[in-house]
Amino acid sequence: MPADTERTTGLRLDGVAASEGVALGPAFIHTPGKLEAERREIEEAEVEREVARYHEAVATVTAKLSQTAEEMRESGSTSEAGIFEAHIEMAEDPELAEGVEERVKSLESPEAAVLEVGEEFAGMLASMDDEYMAARADDVRDVTSQIAAELIGCGAAGLAALDTPSVILARSLAPSDTARIPKGMALGFVTAEGSKTSHVSIMARSMGIPAVVGVGNAIEGSLSAKMVAIDGDSGYAVADPDPDTEREFERKRAASEERKAALDEFKDVEGRTADGRRIEVSANLGSAKEAADAIAYGAEGVGLFRTEFLFMERDELPTEDEQFEVYRQAVEAFGERPVIFRTLDVGGDKDLPGVEQPYEENPFLGWRGIRMCLDVPELFKPQLRALLRASAHGNLKVMFPMVANADEIVAAKNLISRCRDELSAEGTEFGEFDVGVMVETPAAAICASDLAPEVSFFSIGTNDLVQYTLAADRGNEKLEHLQTADHPAVLKLIGLTCEAAREAGVWVGVCGEAAGEPDLIPKLVALGVTELSMSAPRIPRAKKVLSEV
Ligand code: PEP
Ligand code: MG
């Protein structure tokens, strides 16, 4: 049969246009959960061949892992490289090989054997009364799943081992998933769940790749797709497109690239309205590695550095020194331009490996952001110390997430003073920084005049402000129509914040996704916002929009 007629016309998946752009590429199906392998019985005569197949699979997995580790070292991510190097050691562990060989000799298939031995090892680690060792259990499962996947023939199990640029199809993608994808390996995201302000959408925008989220149960029909075409401008994807659809997507991709290129001239201009008002246009970053790209897009600083990604892309908590290195690299990359670090904001849809998160009925209304940090000073203090130390190397500012009242700011500032005293007593170099607060709870906006005396700036987090004001879960695809800051209630809260700030003499930025929305930019500026911070690829267009306001 000719190749053309082998194809189906493709399955269309309609969802939310969460991140712009068009892409076409191989599908990578991410369905987390334990990989199940059939407990196939083998023949006596197959034992030698199956043992050899096992060793080949280990070699393939370790080759991929060492390539990833090497790339990470080259890009300066030494601690992440360390994770992959530890995984190589686990894959090559002689005890693991011994356990698998024994089972294969008793006529069990190697894929089932490696999963079972892995589960045994993981079980032993998990039962240890040592948090570090217990956390290694998931690493063992990850590694043995990768070997089993190789044996079954469905390639690497985890996103971390993705080695071909692909469109990722998943029911949902957590920030800890997207943070592990090797650079350049994601061409786009298609997810069953999510809305424009879910973290998967935010990540796609900052990676400059298209995303269609909230396609719902339709995703189930696409989980065996080989190719995917995705249109993040119109909000749909096609699984296994036919040749005509592929050609149409190629055309759309070229047109989309052209539109992007037409904005290039705005990358290097200063953010300014047509009547000359200066508006700083900054980038939202999740890691220091993104600094160079953000500067290339024309970022005039960083309005939101989401520090939690540094904690989420690894299996154990980063030390104070590791944090210091990352914060220092980021401020040094931006020179005199400001870099605003948001202190750890976990909870909600962001879990933290290494910290036990209690079960919560309503995690978005729960123990998150500043609430959690103030309760766990052993987690918060190393971050504040690292920020104070990095502040000696650049224009660093700090802001707190999820603040609901002035007491929280005062408590956090007291902790900063304690850290300052400790560093001073130790003779460790540190600098001073401006402290600001995110306005992302309605309480913070309504009481902005009470908060203003405690801070140097406000940064409005419209993603959460919208969800809390409209009582609409930001990750729920059914509530997409409510996910907009262009609602009178939200605009009133932004207006209140700006008014309180003006009276107190502090400045106001917006770092939620609304800051990069062309329709909203004129309204935000009219209300008194003087800084807009967004996913870096949106910067040139925002500067163009400003120049026309
Ligand atoms: C926000 O809530 O608008 C924000 C910028 O923070 P995050 O999206 O990380 O919750
Ligand atoms: Mg928020």
- One DSSP character per residue, 467-510 reads HHHTT--TT-GGGGGG--S-SHHHHHHHHHHHHHHHHHT-EEEE
CATH number of 273-547: 3.20.20.60
Residues 6+ apart with CB under 8 A from 125: 133, 134, 136, 137, 140
Is residue 311 packed enough to be buried (19+ CB in 10 Å), middle (13-18) or exposed (0-12)? buried
Ligand nearest to the CA of 514: 1
Using the mean position of ligand 2's atoms as its centre, give its distance from the Cα of residue 185 in Å: 27
Average pLDDT of the chain? 90
**pLDDT at res. 355:** 74
Query: To which H or E segment does residue 246 belong?
Result: helix 243-262
Specify the higher pLDDT residue, 61 or 352. 61
**pLDDT at res. 70:** 82
Ligand nearest to the CA of 198: 1
CATH number of 44-152: 1.10.274.10
Angle between helices 131-152 and 47-74 (to 10 degrees): 120
**pLDDT at res. 166:** 95
| Ligand 1 contacts CB of residue 463 (under 6 A) | yes
Read off φ and ψ for residue 482, nearest 5 degrees. Answer: -95, -5
**pLDDT at res. 41:** 80
Specify the higher pLDDT residue, 317 or 356. 317
Q: For residue 463, which of 473, 451, 455 has the smallest C-alpha distance? A: 473
Q: Per-residue confidence at 78, pLDDT binned at 50, 70, 90?
A: low
**pLDDT at res. 79:** 60
- 156 pLDDT exceeds 50? no
Atom of ligand 1 nearest to the CA of 514: 3
If phi > 0 it is left, if psi is from -120 to 50 it is alpha, else beta; for residue 415 that is alpha
Show the tokens assigned to 11. 């399955």
Mutate to test the pocket of ligand 1, among 345, 473, 490 (most ligand atoms within 8 A of CB): 345
CA distance 311 to 525: 34
For 394-412, how does the pLDDT look when each residue is reduced to its tens digit (9 = 90+)?
999 999 999 999 999 999 9
Helices (H), 376-485: 377-390, 406-426, 442-446, 448-451, 462-469
Mutate to test the pocket of ligand 1, among 340, 402, 438 (most ligand atoms within 8 A of CB): 438
Mutate to test the pocket of ligand 1, among 464, 494, 531 (most ligand atoms within 8 A of CB): 464
**CA angle (450, 454, 456) in 5-degree steps:** 115
Say if residues 263 and 518 touch (Cβ distance below 8 Å).
Answer: no
Would the CA dihedral through 457, 535, 204, 520 be positive or negative?
positive
**pLDDT at res. 176:** 64
Using the mean position of ligand 1's atoms as its centre, give its distance from the Cα of residue 463 in Å: 5
**pLDDT at res. 225:** 86
Atom 1 of ligand 1, residue of closest alpha carbon: 461
Q: Per-residue confidence at 422, pLDDT binned at 50, 70, 90?
A: very high
The ranges of the chain annotated as CATH 1.10.274.10 are: 44-152
| Ligand 1 contacts CB of residue 511 (under 6 A) | yes
| Ligand 1 contacts CB of residue 461 (under 6 A) | yes
**pLDDT at res. 5:** 35
Candidate ranges 43-47, 64-68, 176-180; pick with highest mean pLDDT: 43-47
Mean pLDDT score, 420-424: 98
The ranges of the chain annotated as CATH 3.50.30.10 are: 2-31+159-247
Ligand nearest to the CA of 370: 2
- 108 pLDDT exceeds 60? yes
| Ligand 1 contacts CB of residue 306 (under 6 A) | yes
Q: Per-residue confidence at 153, pLDDT binned at 50, 70, 90?
A: low
As annotated, the active-site residues are 199, 511
Would the CA dihedral through 309, 315, 320, 326 be positive or negative?
negative
Q: Per-residue confidence at 154, pLDDT binned at 50, 70, 90?
A: low
Of 37-41, 137-141, 331-335, minimum mean pLDDT range: 37-41
| Ligand 1 contacts CB of residue 530 (under 6 A) | no
Q: In whole angstroms, how large is the CA radius of gyration of the chain?
A: 25
Q: Per-residue confidence at 1, pLDDT binned at 50, 70, 90?
A: very low
- Topology of 2-31+159-247 in CATH? Glucose Oxidase; domain 1 (3.50.30)
Helix (H, G, I), strand (E, B) or coil at 101: helix
- 130 pLDDT exceeds 80? no
Residues 6+ apart with CB under 8 A from 243: 4, 7
Mean pLDDT score, 346-354: 76
- 98 pLDDT exceeds 50? yes
**pLDDT at res. 323:** 97
For 432-480, how does the pLDDT look when each residue is reduced to its tens digit (9 = 90+)?
999 999 999 999 999 999 999 999 999 999 999 999 999 999 988 889 8
- 244 pLDDT exceeds 80? yes
CA distance 115 to 379: 34
| Ligand 1 contacts CB of residue 146 (under 6 A) | no
- 200 pLDDT exceeds 90? no
The ranges of the chain annotated as CATH 3.20.20.60 are: 273-547
Residues 6+ apart with CB under 8 A from 527: 491, 494, 495, 498
Q: Per-residue confidence at 35, pLDDT binned at 50, 70, 90?
A: low
